[in-house]
Amino acid sequence: MYGSDGIGDDEPLFRPYAVTGGRSEPRYHLAMETLISSMSIPDDEMALLTPEQEAIMQLCRSIRSVAEISALLRVPLGVARVLVADMSDEGLVRLHQPRLSQGQPDLNMLERVLSGLRRL
């Protein structure tokens, strides 16, 4: 995400840790491969979102992983985790946690994440 004024095209739209209150870890574990989707909310509530929340809502109209959100917003993974976890607590996004069977991740899920990362 870049500023519309053309200045600082290499810098993110916001200072990463300023929007998390300095937190680099969410209140609970959120794996980088966790898939995220936006919830439908009324337009009047969309107007109340922060620019960061709005960007995540737009990105997650298509299911995205936390890693993809981090890469597309050009913010550290810890910041993306905090933002997504906070949004989940507020009911703005839905988390699709990977299901582990006998301690092994789902191979199809890993292939989808890898495919998504290659498209970045």
Residue 76, CB-side half-sphere exposure with 13 Å CA sphere: 14
Cα separation, 62 vs 103, whole angstroms = 28
Cα separation, 26 vs 29, whole angstroms = 7
Average pLDDT over residues 10-29: 65
Tens digit of each residue's pLDDT (9 = 90 or more) over 59-115: 999 999 999 999 999 888 888 999 999 999 999 999 987 665 556 667 777 787 787
Sheet harboring 64-65: ordered strands across?
A: 64-65, 35-38, 93-96
Beta carbons of 93 and 82 less than 8 angstroms apart: no
What pLDDT is recorded for position 16?
A: 62
